[in-house]
């Protein structure tokens, strides 16, 4: 399913009127080309020029974006197939929890990706551009590097937002106790902040703080949920 979705994103035209037989213009517009153009319009700072530094750069970006979009499109079907495979071996309450886990993970991941697209990635590019202008350099960047930063940043913020889902799962399984986490809050949050700082390309602390604050709030909410699970287990 992933292969078929990626191939469709890569080859199927989204606008029949865009089909052209001219060698000087694109043959037609696909979902991948539309997304690449949209990302450049939304996230590329004014006055910045992107350069394909080698012959394979446009193809590499096109393939990466197609596979990323194919994974997003096919993920509901993949999750459903996994559920159908393991479903017969699960009890009714276990099936319900898998559904809640999948729905919560998907919602938080997409929220993180949207947060990254609207806030984190633009902030990162502004900070990186500021360092270029500070050194009086021409703001020209490699085409592949631009999209690598975007895809990496969106994936990172998406997965960071899903941390509470795994925490609640561990509490429900009895592997982690909320009392231990509340006692070690300072170490937990210090570790999360260090992890965010390592995985973000922004050399300043601004992007790290922007990501850390919602993750902190989500973690506190997951601790409240975990305490309710433990209370229900004791009663």
The string of pLDDT tens digits covering residues 16-67 is 665 655 555 556 788 898 999 999 999 998 888 999 888 899 899 999 999 9
Kindly report the pTM of this predicted structure.
Answer: 0.84
Task: Read off the pLDDT of residues 156-165 as tens digits, 9 standing for 90 and up.
Answer: 898 899 988 8
Q: What is the pLDDT of residue 13?
A: 78
Say which residue, 18 or 122, is predicted with more confidence. Answer: 122
Which whole-number Å values give the CA distances from 149 to 20, 106, 112, 191, in the listed order? 32, 22, 16, 23
Q: What is the pLDDT of residue 21?
A: 55
% pLDDT > 90, the chain = 26
Task: Read off the pLDDT of residues 92-104 as tens digits, 9 standing for 90 and up.
Answer: 766 777 778 888 8
Whole-angstrom distance, CA of residue 161 vs CA of residue 18: 38
**Which two three-digit tokens encode residue 120?**
């984190």
Q: HSE on the CB side for 5, CA within 13 Å?
A: 15
Task: Read off the pLDDT of residues 184-223 as tens digits, 9 standing for 90 and up.
Answer: 888 989 998 998 888 877 777 888 899 999 999 999 999 9
């Amino acid at each position: 399913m992933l292969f078929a979705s990626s191939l469709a994103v890569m080859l199927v035209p989204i606008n029949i009127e865009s089909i052209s037989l001219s060698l000087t213009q694109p043959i037609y517009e696909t979902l991948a080309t539309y997304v690449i153009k949209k990302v450049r319009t939304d996230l590329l700072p004014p006055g910045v020029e992107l350069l394909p530094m080698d012959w394979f750069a446009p193809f590499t970006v096109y393939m990466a974006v197609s596979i990323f979009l194919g994974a997003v499109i096919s993920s509901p079907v993949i999750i459903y197939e996994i559920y159908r495979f393991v479903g017969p071996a699960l009890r009714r309450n276990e099936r319900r929890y898998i559904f809640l886990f999948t729905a919560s993970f998907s919602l938080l991941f997409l929220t993180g990706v949207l947060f990254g697209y609207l806030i984190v990635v633009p902030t990162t590019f502004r900070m990186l551009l500021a360092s270029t202008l500070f050194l009086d350099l021409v703001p020209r960047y490699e085409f592949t590097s631009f999209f690598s930063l975007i895809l990496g940043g969106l994936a990172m913020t998406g997965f960071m937002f899903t941390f509470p889902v795994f925490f609640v799962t561990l509490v429900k399984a009895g592997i982690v106790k909320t009392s231990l986490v509340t006692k070690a809050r300072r170490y937990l949050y210090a570790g999360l902040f260090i992890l965010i700082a390592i995985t973000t390309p922004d050399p300043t602390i601004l992007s790290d703080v922007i990501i850390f604050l919602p993750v902190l709030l989500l973690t506190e909410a997951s601790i409240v949920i975990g305490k309710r699970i433990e209370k229900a287990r004791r009663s």
